[in-house]
Amino acid sequence: MLVPFEKYSLITSISPEEVHDRLAASVDTSKSLFHASRGNKSYYGQVSQFSFKIQRKITYRNSFLPVVKGQVSSFAGQTRIDIQMRPHVAVSVFMLVWLTFTGIACIAVSLVLIQRLMNSDDTKFNPALLTPYAMFIFGYALVTFGFKSESKIAKKFLADLLEGRKQ
């Protein structure tokens, strides 16, 4: 997949009600334009009885900060939390468009280079032809590293808070 996405489950021995209570105590649910400046909780979002949608409060800019969604259910005498993480929808759409167009440009450049090789064209190689490849690699690395660095923090937060183990 071009845009990062993570899906996993945590299993914990605490009850679904306790999961809700712990999340509600750790997540700022008040709505504010400037989330990072409000309160001492490290996450903001929505927490309901059997689901949540949260993001980490940060004081710096990271457009690839994961939106963490979870569903809480009972499972064989334990509690299961199914978690999905992905960048904000607008960021995902932008990066999908960016990577699609740069990918098409990479294919076009590759076809031109193949045609030159097949025709034994003696024109010199132009390094500018590598630009679409550089743009594709830069875009992919930017979204992947920006997202993965923050998703590790969110995973640790949830595992510690909910005393969960990854399934």
- Mind listing the pLDDT tens digit for each residue in 11-21? 999 999 999 99
Looking at every residue in the chain, the average pLDDT score rounds to 89
Q: Which bin fits 104, alpha (ψ -120 to 50), beta or left (φ > 0)?
A: alpha
What are 165's two structure tokens? Answer: 């183990």
Pairing state between β 43-47 and 6-12: unpaired
**Residue pLDDT, tens place only, 46-102:** 999 999 999 999 888 888 899 999 999 997 889 999 999 999 999 999 999 999 999
What are the sequence ranges of the domains in the chain? 6-88+149-166, 90-140
Query: Given the structure tokens 């690839």, which residue do they identify?
Result: 64
Token duo for residue 95: 């990066």
How does DSSP classify residue 93?
A: H
pTM over 0.85: no
- Using DSSP's 3-state secondary structure scheme, residue 62 falls into coil
Angle at 98 between CA 95 and CA 101, to 5 degrees: 145
Residue range 130-153: mean pLDDT, rounded: 94
At the top level of CATH, which class does the domain 6-88+149-166 belong to?
Answer: alpha beta
